[in-house]
Amino acid sequence: MTTMTQTSARFREFKMPDVGEGLTEAEILKWFVQPGDTVTDGQVVCEVETAKAAVELPIPFDGVVHELRFAEGTTVDVGEVIITVDVAPGSEDAPAPAAAPAQEPVEAAPAEEPKGRTPVLVGYGVAESSTKRRPRKGAAPEAAAVAAAVQAELNGHGSAAPVADAPPVGRPLAKPPVRKLAKDLGIDLATVVPTGKDGIITREDVHAAAAPAAPAAAPEVAEPVAVSVPETPATVGSARETRIPVKGVRKAIAQAMVGSAFTAPHVTEFVTVDVTRTMKLVAELKEDKEMAGVRVNPLLIIAKALLVAIKRNPEVNAAWDEANQEIVQKHYVNLGIAAATPRGLIVPNIKDAHDKTLPQLAAALGELVATARDGKTSPAAMAGGTVTITNVGVFGVDTGTPILNPGESAILAVGAIKLQPWVHKGKVKPRQVTTLALSFDHRLVDGELGSKVLADVAAILEQPKRLITWA
């Protein structure tokens, strides 16, 4: 969705769009343009990370960048203006191009500044009139002195003189890097006493607020009291722990997993199967000219086996509609593949996987994995899944109890394929063996149906010729 606003015949605003399904915010990862740069319709101006993926945003008109409203690393609500563009450069009525989100504070504008919209630094608000900022500016020298004294007291450097109750103020003033530091440290800027010029919060103020408070000195008239103080460094908390803001993909994963685990009643069943013949088939397919140019691996055969099992047991491919109290039977399979990426776990899916031939399925798997590895998976690629495969075997794990992807009915976990002693044709022989685990939503899938699906997958992997006879 493209979101833009036309504020005049000359300047146009581009708002943070909803690039997914009902997303409410996104973090600006990187700006590809700066104020003064020329942009064209369709040119990518920034990369943002949503709760689902990293997405590049193209500008929907030509012009010259006038202002970047937010710095990199800032989380912005959907619908907020992130960039303004001069679509008619050269006109005389235009204000000077605004600087990019600055790293240093600037002096407040003089009282004679012209009326109307004025470009400002991120985090300092738009001074549409003198009513909002004047009280702070007029009291700046006194406020700064008071703030310095209070901060010195908080830092344990001295006692602050009594001060009169200050009037309530608006959003705390801080540069974007300082805001990010406070967010990373879990510090609410509203609780930090500023010591910078004009009441601006500095990095030192944030660090001081994050440090454990020093024990106050006892008054001289107080009775001596024996107090046991542990000999622990004052910075032990920050040295022994690291706080990481929960946002983006990680935040989405947490919300989805909690919602799934406590909404859908999970049942997980296991089966251990001899996949020696499947491994031989994989080796043969790698030499087949019909499979040239695509990646052939055990996951390909497992995916095809699951698709055949769903075809034999179509009731498993369903969703629970809580609002309408209905079971929605899906007559298509969008096969999800759980992928671990630097940004976290994502589950893109292969649309209409049930209609694909083996070479087509192999090509789709290869493209899905490559896109996920590059961090370019789109929100649309992760929407509408029906069942999922998670291959925990790549980490050497035997199996697990996977949690359902929200809105889906089943998820198949594939364990590591290992050479193990196995009874084959009455004799103990070394065979390639793996363990499968199928979790399913017990509202939709009863034990018999879930067992049939898992047994069919195992039977196909034990005898791959069933891909032909059962399909």
- Token readout for 233 is 């460094």
Nearest to 343 by CA among 48, 49, 6: 49
CA distance 297 to 308: 18
Give alpha helix (H) positions in 243-354: 248-261, 276-286, 298-312
- Token readout for 299 is 């996951």
- Surface-to-core class of residue 86, CB atoms within 10 Å of its CB (0-12 exposed, 13-18 middle, 19+ buried): buried
If one counts every other C-beta atom within 10 angstroms of the C-beta of residue 441, the result is 23
Q: With beta carbons less than 8 A apart as the criterion, state whether 441 and 386 touch.
A: no
If one counts every other C-beta atom within 10 angstroms of the C-beta of residue 146, the result is 18
If one counts every other C-beta atom within 10 angstroms of the C-beta of residue 220, the result is 5
Q: With beta carbons less than 8 A apart as the criterion, state whether 456 and 313 touch.
A: yes
- Token readout for 206 is 């944030």
- Token readout for 452 is 């049939």
Q: At what angle do helices 130-138 and 140-154 cross, to 10 degrees?
A: 60
CA distance 185 to 241: 11
Q: With beta carbons less than 8 A apart as the criterion, state whether 30 and 23 touch.
A: no
If one counts every other C-beta atom within 10 angstroms of the C-beta of residue 311, the result is 14
- Token readout for 396 is 């050497």
Q: What is the DSSP string of 431-450?
A: EEEEEEEEEEETTT--HHHH
CA distance 178 to 203: 6
Q: How far is CA 444 from CA 110, 308, 421, in A?
A: 67, 19, 37
Q: With beta carbons less than 8 A apart as the criterion, state whether 33 and 18 touch.
A: no
Q: What is the DSSP string of 32-82?
A: S--TT-EE-TT-EEEEEE-SS-EEEEE-SS-EEEEEE-S-TT-EEETT-EE
Q: How far is CA 364 from CA 1, 6, 214, 347, 414, in A?
A: 26, 41, 59, 14, 19
User: Does the annotation count 354 as an active-site position?
Assistant: no
Residue 397 makes CB contacts below 8 A (sequence gap 6+) with 415, 416
Among 66, 207, 424, 442, the one annotated catalytic: 442
Q: Which residues are catalytic?
A: 442
